[in-house]
Structure 1
Amino acid sequence: MTSTADRIVLSFAPSAAGENPWSGVDTEWIVDELCGDTYRQYLRRAHGGPVSIGEEWSEFVSCGCATPQDVVLRVERVDGGTVLGDATTLEIHPRAEIETATR
């Protein structure tokens, strides 16, 4: 039997390849978009169900004026269960921030 996770920590990174994929990317804007109630509700519906650490989701956020920014969300931590559900808290951070904290 699976139970709903209390909290899932996600990291994001731009999906752009190249020398510095963060060049020109407004991470503050992306965080604001990803952390909005509407976007979190979308993530719960689009990816609801069992999740596992390391799972990646290709998504995009609106950067205004019909300009999308492709991002890759990665499941970094799952607390209190294994299923992403309506009651699950989603915590979202830039991947660089997560990687720096684990060094």
Structure 2
Amino acid sequence: MAPVADRLVLSFAPSTADGNPWSGVDTEWIADELRGDTYQQYLRRAHGGPVAVGDEWDEFVSCGCATPQDVVLRVERVEGGTALSDATTLDVHPRNDTEAVSQ
């Protein structure tokens, strides 16, 4: 079994039909949803196992009133191991926030 990663840095970008992923999207709402304990627990279980920089996951978050927002999560950095588990910390940032993602 691969060693468990201490931390994954993930970026996200909304998927939109008009090609501009940030038009009309509440980035803070999406970030709050992705950073929530329940959602992070889901991500650890759904994508548990080996991970690598560049892996992308198609997901969605609820924007309220049964309105989902499709997002693409991308693994930007893997620290301390190569496998995602319940013990791995997930650090999620909007994709256009390149400074936060590169730290």
Counterpart for residue 10 of structure 2? 10
How far residue 100 of structure 1 moved from its aligned partner, in angstroms, is 8.2
**Correspondence 1:62 to 2:62:** yes
Change (3 A) 1:22 1:57: same
Change (3 A) 1:55 1:6: same
Query: Hey, what's the Cα distance between the residues in 1 that align with 2:100 and 2:78?
Result: 19
Tell whether the 8 Å contact from 2:10 to 2:101 is kept in structure 1 after alignment. Answer: no
Tell whether the 8 Å contact from 2:56 to 2:73 is kept in structure 1 after alignment. Answer: yes
Gaps of 5+ in 2: none
Instruction: Tell me the number of residue pairs that the alignment of Structure 1 and Structure 2 aligns.
Output: 102
Gaps of 5+ in 1: none
CA deviation profile, 1:41-95 (whole Å, cap 9, x unmatched): 0000000000000000000000000000000000000000000001000000000
Query: Hey, what's the Cα distance between the residues in 1 that align with 2:23 and 2:14?
Result: 10
Query: Hey, what's the Cα distance between the residues in 2 that align with 1:16 and 1:68?
Result: 12
Aligned CA RMSD, in angstroms, stands at 1.6
TM-score w.r.t. length of structure 2:
0.92
TM-score w.r.t. length of structure 1:
0.92
Query: Hey, what's the Cα distance between the residues in 2 that align with 1:90 and 1:75?
Result: 10
Counterpart for residue 20 of structure 1? 20
